Amino acid sequence: MSRFWSPFVKDLVPYVPGEQPKLDNLIKLNTNENPYGPSPKVIDAIRSQLDDGLRLYPAPNADALKDSIASYYGVSSAQVFVGNGSDEVLAHIFHALFQHGKPVLMPDISYSFYPVYCGLYGIEARVLPLAEDFSIRVEDYRGANGGIIFPNPNAPTGMLLPLAGIEQILQANPDSVVVVDEAYVDFGGETAIALVDRYPNLLVTQTLSKSRSLAGLRVGLAVGHADLIEALERVKNSFNSYPLDRLAIVGAVAAFEDQAWFEQCCRAVIDSREQLSAALTQLGFEVLPSAANFVLARHPQRDAAQLAAGLRERRVIVRHFRQPRIEQFLRITVGTPEQNQALLDALGSLLNG
Ligand SMILES: Cc1ncc(COP(=O)(O)O)c(C=O)c1O
């Protein structure tokens, strides 16, 4: 703390991202990155921009990327917003579309950045408990609210809410913006983008960080009614006119063009997830059903914090949340088959030791 800090900054509670370790030889299963690299066409596209053109600002509205996302999802470009990672897109949503004076509804166990944005923008958060089996209780999402947000599949549970449940929430809340954060949808969910033309209060966010292997490029997007997008543009253009740089724009366009690469990576991750879940179950873990690129698992006889520490000693890092209801769980990102095997070997030796 410093005497130069504003009272506002003193009270901020920032998000704490998962560790990005300095050591190279760790098996990193802690931040839900894709174990496979991006499409070679993405790398070529980025290379093609590495010239004197970098002295020029990028296209402020990243129109080429919006057009490519619009045609990928069969919507108009006016229904697409892009930002520097979906974290930035989410920040603008909290700022531009959630109302003050009524609480924003979100699950008790979900993306821990949501309450941070509430703190940043002075919005009240109301957390609604997930059911005993960690599913979202659709019937709880009603009554006066300033907006609704949840990930689908949820994070860190990995559990999917079917589109019918999302429609129930949309229908019960015609006067609130309902945000479905689809960071992990490509690993087993069905996108709610198909519903945006029927629900003017629906906004769907996605990221290129997970299924398109581009966490390092920082590209996220939102799709919804053009009026919602316009609100996001107003905030973005009052904050940073150029959130996506020249490399990010061409790289992201190329990622959407290489469908074969995308499908192959998602398939490999999904297959590995199923194998990993089965092997963890064999080791005695309870594994929540995941539609994401991670699993949430607990061992009935072993303390999760101790398991996480033991794994780290064996050079495998996973995520452990010191949070009510899930403090005995580990969130394990699905790696390559070799990485998953190394994790299972390390767990096997910890459980036997
Ligand atoms: C549920 C959820 N939403 C959004 C994000 C943000 O992703 P990014 O800012 O990389 O697009 C994450 C990242 O882990 C996430 O888990």
- Which pLDDT tens digit goes with each residue over 269-323? 999 999 999 999 999 999 999 999 999 999 999 999 999 999 999 999 999 999 9
Residue 190 has pLDDT above 90, yes or no: yes
Residue 24 has pLDDT above 90, yes or no: no
Counting Cα atoms < 13 Å in the Cβ hemisphere of 123 gives 29
Q: Mark residue 277 as left, alpha or beta (left: phi above 0; alpha: psi -120 to 50; beta: remaining).
A: alpha
DSSP string, 32-52: ---SSPPPHHHHHHHHHT-SG
Alpha helices in the chain (DSSP H): 7-10, 40-48, 63-73, 85-97, 113-121, 163-172, 226-236, 246-257, 259-282, 304-313, 337-352
For 7, the token pair is: 């009272």
Mean pLDDT score, 218-245: 98
Q: What is the mean pLDDT of the chain?
A: 97
Q: Which residues contact 309 (CB under 8 A, 6 or more apart)?
A: none
- Which pLDDT tens digit goes with each residue over 140-181? 999 999 999 999 999 999 999 999 999 999 999 999 999 999
**pLDDT at res. 269:** 98
Confidence grade of residue 109 (pLDDT, cut at 50, 70, 90): very high
Residue 85 has pLDDT above 80, yes or no: yes
CA nearest 335: which of 39, 18, 30? 30
Could you tell me the CA-to-CA distances from 29 to 112, 211, 312, 315, 347 in Å, in that order? 18, 15, 11, 10, 13
111 Cβ below 6 A of ligand 1? yes
User: What Rg value do the Cα atoms of the chain yield, rounded?
Assistant: 20
Residue 231 has pLDDT above 80, yes or no: yes
Confidence grade of residue 246 (pLDDT, cut at 50, 70, 90): very high
**Of ligand 1's atoms, which has the minimum distance to the CA of residue 18?**
14
Confidence grade of residue 339 (pLDDT, cut at 50, 70, 90): very high
Q: For residue 24, give the DSSP letter.
A: S
Residue 81 has pLDDT above 80, yes or no: yes
Mean pLDDT score, 1-12: 92
CA 113 / ligand 1 centre spacing (Å): 9
18 Cβ below 6 A of ligand 1? no
Query: Do residues 185 and 292 touch, judged by C-beta distance below 8 A?
Result: no
Compute the distance between CA of residue 223 and CA of residue 227 in angstroms, rounded to an integer: 11
Count CB neighbours of 167 within 10 A.
16
Which residue of 87, 204, 331 sits with most ligand 1 atoms within 8 Å of its CB, as the best mutation to test the pocket? 87
CA nearest 82: which of 46, 57, 58, 115? 58
**pLDDT at res. 353:** 78
Burial of 25 (0-12, 13-18, 19+ CB in 10 A): exposed
Q: What percent of the chain has pLDDT over 70?
A: 100
- Let me know how long the chain is: 353
- φ and ψ at 241, to 5 degrees? -75, -20
**pLDDT at res. 18:** 83
Which residue of 15, 184, 210 sits with most ligand 1 atoms within 8 Å of its CB, as the best mutation to test the pocket? 210
